[in-house]
Each structure stands twice: as structure tokens, then as C-alpha cells.
């Protein structure tokens, strides 16, 4: 039902995790996909998967926290129908053991990175008379999660930016929504377990999975499906909303 033929979709962090799954899905749905990615190897792997399936994709190596780099990329893209802000990093720590450099790093990527892309994409959408924006938020924006102080701070900002953009550009026919995943099986999870629980990866993976009321972690493809729907014409009456893709985490945990 979803069709993005002749639409240009820009996805930050499109070379790994949720961003990669979204890049692949949008390409399957007919879009011209522009991946904005810092890691060149990840960008190349995502491009290869899409091209093998006859999808249309271009990769741009870019640090989203650098406004000049972002501006240069969007100047090359020229037209934007959909922007998916998926680039982000996580951090383990509380307020008193999170150092300044880590706090600043998370802000620059998770918050300023989204601002930089909004700053460049919105004028292009206004020129076209329409657009859809999707920010990848987190359940951490709406509930307390242990040892995620800086990460939760950034996702709270993402949630607020989503509402502000949705309100500010109603007259421009630009919609803005967000999705809030809970635990999703991504390379970050595997790296975290390998680093912090060597030899007990499977045991800890199962323990983390069971914290979701549904009994497992989500998949990147499941999150990507919600992203594609919210950016589609079928969702044209939806703006200013956050959708938990969380296996019941926010509402069903007791």
C-alpha cells in the first residue's frame, strides 16, 4: 500500500541499525534514498544491499553535528520529500559519573545533529509545498531508565523538537512525528554486551529481552515499518505525535 515512487528520502545514520533498516525499506518502496552516514564502511554496505535489490541510493559521508558539512550535503540533494533523523549515539552513566566530554558528544550528535538537518531540509520542503519528518526518539524520553542520564536528556529534547516543528510548519504542509523504540536488537546491543559481560552475552541478552512485556527485543525492521507508515501519504492526517514501538514497555510494565 505504501508507495514512495519518485520521492526523495533522506535518512541520517542510514548505514546501521534502525537507519539502515529504514533505508532498505524506503528503497523497496520506490524512493530515491539518500543515506547520510559518518561511517563510510557502513554506508557502503547499506548501499550494496539496496543496489542488489535494484533500489536507488546515494550515500553522503557526513558528521551531522557539523552544520557546514550538513549544509553542503543538502545543497547537493536539492529536493527533500522525507527526512528521517535516525543518527544517534548512546551512553551509560548517571549525572555524577557522566563526564563533560561525553555529555557534550551526545548533545552534539543526538540534538544538534537533528537541528542541523531540520535547518537545511525544512526550507527545501517549504519550497516544494509539503514534506514529512520523522525523528527517532526513545522510551527514555518519557520514563526514567537507570544509567541513561545524558541519553535520556537528548531524547527528551528530540521529543520536544518534534512537537515544535509539527506546530511551526502546519501552514507549510510539513508533518513531523517521532517513534520511540524500547530495546531493539542492533549492533549497539551486541557491542554493549561483549564489552560489559564477556562470556555471558547470551545470558544477559535474554535478561534484557525479558524486560520487554512482549518477551523479546524489537527488530530494526519493525521500527522501520512504523517509520515508513508515518512518512507516507496514508498518514497524512498525523502530525505532532510520538509512537512507542516498545513491546508494551511504557504502558504494560508493572
Q: Rounded to whole angstroms, how far apart are CA atoms 125 and 78?
A: 10
Cβ atoms of 246 and 181 closer than 8 Å? yes
Q: Which of 115, 151, 229, 243 is catalytic?
A: 151
Contact 26, 230 (CB under 8 A): no
The position carrying cell 505525535 is 241
Using alpha carbons only, give the angle 252, 139, 15 rounded to the nearest 5 degrees.
130
Strands 82-85, 131-136: pairing is parallel
Based on the residue annotation, tell me whether 229 is a catalytic residue of this protein.
no
Closest CA to 117 of 81, 73, 154, 160: 73
| Residues acting as catalytic residues | 151
Amino acid at each position: 500500500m505504501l508507495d514512495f515512487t519518485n520521492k526523495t528520502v533522506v535518512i541520517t545514520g542510514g548505514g546501521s541499525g534502525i537507519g539502515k533498516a529504514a533505508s532498505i525499506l524506503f528503497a523497496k518502496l520506490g524512493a530515491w534514498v539518500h543515506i547520510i552516514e559518518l561511517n563510510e564502511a557502513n554506508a557502503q554496505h547499506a548501499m550494496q544491499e539496496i543496489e542488489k535489490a535494484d533500489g536507488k541510493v546515494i550515500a553522503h559521508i557526513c558528521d551531522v553535528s557539523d552544520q557546514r558539512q550538513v549544509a553542503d550535503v543538502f545543497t547537493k540533494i536539492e529536493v527533500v520529500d522525507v527526512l528521517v533523523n535516525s543518527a544517534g549515539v548512546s551512553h551509560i552513566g548517571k549525572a555524577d559519573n557522566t563526564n563533560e566530554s561525553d555529555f557534550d558528544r551526545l548533545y552534539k550528535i543526538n540534538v544538534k545533529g537533528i537541528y542541523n538537518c531540520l535547518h537545511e531540509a525544512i526550507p527545501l520542503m517549504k519550497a516544494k509545498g509539503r514534506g514529512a519528518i520523522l525523528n527517532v526518539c526513545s522510551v527514555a524520553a518519557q520514563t526514567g531508565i537507570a544509567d541513561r542520564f545524558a541519553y535520556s536528556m537528548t531524547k527528551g529534547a528530540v521529543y520536544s523538537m518534534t512537537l515544535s516543528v509539527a506546530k511551526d510548519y502546519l501552514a507549510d504542509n510539513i508533518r513531523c512525528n517521532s517513534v520511540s523504540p524500547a530495546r531493539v536488537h542492533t549492533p549497539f546491543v551486541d557491542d554493549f554486551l561483549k564489552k560489559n559481560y564477556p562470556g555471558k552475552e547470551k545470558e544477559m541478552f535474554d535478561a534484557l529481552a525479558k524486560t520487554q512485556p512482549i518477551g523479546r527485543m524489537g527488530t530494526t525492521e519493525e521500527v522501520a515499518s512504523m517509520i515508513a507508515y508515518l512518512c507516507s501519504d496514508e498518514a497524512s492526517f498525523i502530525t505532532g505525535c510520538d509512537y512507542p514501538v516498545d513491546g508494551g514497555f511504557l504502558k504494560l510494565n508493572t
